[in-house]
Amino acid sequence: MHRVVFLDRASLKATVRKPSCAAEYIEHAKTDAGEIVPRLAGASIAIINKVPMRDESLRRLPQLKMIAVAATGYDVVDVPYCQAHGIAVANIRNYAVHTVPEHTFALILALRRNLLAYRRDVEDGVWNRSEQFCFFTHDIGDLHGSTLGIIGEGAIGQATAAIGRAFGMRVLFADHAPPRMEGVDFTPHDQVLAESDVISLHCPLLPSTRNLIGRAAFRRMKRNTLLINTARGGLVDEAALIEALDQGLIAGAGFDVLTVEPPRNGNPLLEVRRPNFILTPHVAWASDGAMQFLADQLVDNIDGWAAGSPRNLVT
CA dihedral 258, 6, 96, 194 (to 10 degrees): 30
Give the torsion sign (CA, 241, 247, 249, 255): positive
Which of 3, 39, 112, 232 is the catalytic position?
232
> With left for phi above 0 and alpha for psi between -120 and 50, is residue 282 left, alpha or beta?
left
CA dihedral 222, 272, 260, 239 (to 10 degrees): 50
Give residues with Cβ within 8 angstroms of 92, minimum separation 6: 69, 70, 71, 72, 294, 297, 298, 301, 312
From 108, 77, 70, 74, select the one nearest 201 (Cα to Cα): 108
28 as an active site residue: the answer is no
Q: In angstroms, how far is CA 125 from the centroid of its own chain?
A: 37
261 as an active site residue: the answer is yes
- What's the rounded Cα separation, in Å, for the pair 237 and 201? 13
Dump strand ranges (E) for 92-174.
147-151, 170-174
Which of 119, 261, 274, 311 is the catalytic position?
261
Q: Are 283 and 95 in contact (CB under 8 A)?
A: no
252 beta partners: 226
Which of 93, 113, 176, 282 is the catalytic position?
282
- HSE-CB at 295 with a 13 A cutoff on CA atoms is 19
Alpha helices in 145-212 (DSSP H): 155-166, 189-195
- What's the rounded Cα separation, in Å, for the pair 312 and 315? 9
Overall residue count recorded for the chain in this entry: 315
232 as an active site residue: the answer is yes
Residues with a catalytic annotation lie at 232, 261, 282
